Structure 1
């Protein structure tokens, strides 16, 4: 790959995907899917051009992955929400790489509206969700479209397992 920024972004996407699949127990020790056709598997999406569908499909989330030095979280969140809509997923979030840290330390940013919908799905009050998942709230000015919630990728993996469990149909 001749573009170093694209290579770095692709490597970050793969690290996020691999971390989530391992954390959720979806792969064997060699990284092969236990159930290759399962909708629960976390996968990197093919690029779709103008109607991009996000970097990683992680039902019920679309993950937009960013490995850049200078964050632009509100702009990225608008992109993630749009791409989730293109893919037909209810939630779009951003996973930002922390310099010098492993995948589990990545920062997952949620628009306030998405965080609220996820909490409601789990039936959790604000303080309970914040405490359980280590949420940090960022309010930028009076425009609530620029407000967001941040948790670590490790906490997101736990949240993902919890939300998937909340949606399971008993056998």
Structure 2
């Protein structure tokens, strides 16, 4: 018998992958990937053991998927950033399931450092970037390593689209 927590985690990872692939227009009406060789497909990579490369790859992001009742967001963010480094991706983020909500309402958490790097890549002012993608700030005491920003998976999916458009088109601003 499979570990029930592992099964829940795998189901959440697959739901996030499928949602992002559909949002990005990479699947047909039946959810089948249009081009299996497209590097832009959102994938669940094989685990690498000690050098874990994250749960989901959505170029240029590594997503660490969490389906648990007890959040440990700062710890998860550090894990996601290490796994992004192992995978050779610039950004590591956490996507956490929200009980009783759709996949689109999952919460995406990033460190202040990662958020700033994403904002600078878009060449956007702080307020504009925060408003466009629905970011909210969580401050945990005076220890800045425990501060992070949060948005929904739906707003994050818009960010992925805009980031990819911005990087491939060479435009100075990502516009939705």
When normalised by structure 1's length, the TM-score is 0.97
Q: Deviations over 1:72-110 (max 9, x none)?
A: 000000000000000000000000000011100000001
Q: Does 1:135 align with 2:130?
A: no
Report deviation, 1:47.
1.1
Cα distance in 1 between the residues matched to 2:32 and 2:162: 23
Runs of 4+ displaced beyond 2 Å: none
Structure 1 unaligned segments of length 5 or more: list them.
Answer: none
2:60 alignment partner in structure 1: 60
Q: Supply the RMSD in Å over aligned alpha carbons.
A: 1.0
Q: Does 1:101 align with 2:101?
A: yes
1:122 alignment partner in structure 2: 122
When normalised by structure 2's length, the TM-score is 0.94
Q: Deviations over 1:118-147 (max 9, x none)?
A: 011111111101111111001111221111
Deviates more, 1:53-62 or 1:138-147: 138-147
Cα distance in 2 between the residues matched to 1:52 and 1:78: 13
1:85 alignment partner in structure 2: 85
Matching of residues 2-17 of structure 1 within 5 Å: 2-17=2-17
Cα distance in 2 between the residues matched to 1:45 and 1:101: 26
1:71 alignment partner in structure 2: 71
Cα distance in 1 between the residues matched to 2:102 and 2:47: 25
Q: Report SS of the residue matched to 1:94.
A: strand
Cα distance in 2 between the residues matched to 1:124 and 1:147: 21
Cα distance in 1 between the residues matched to 2:70 and 2:90: 27
Q: How many positions carry a matched residue from both structures?
A: 170
Cα distance in 2 between the residues matched to 1:125 and 1:39: 30
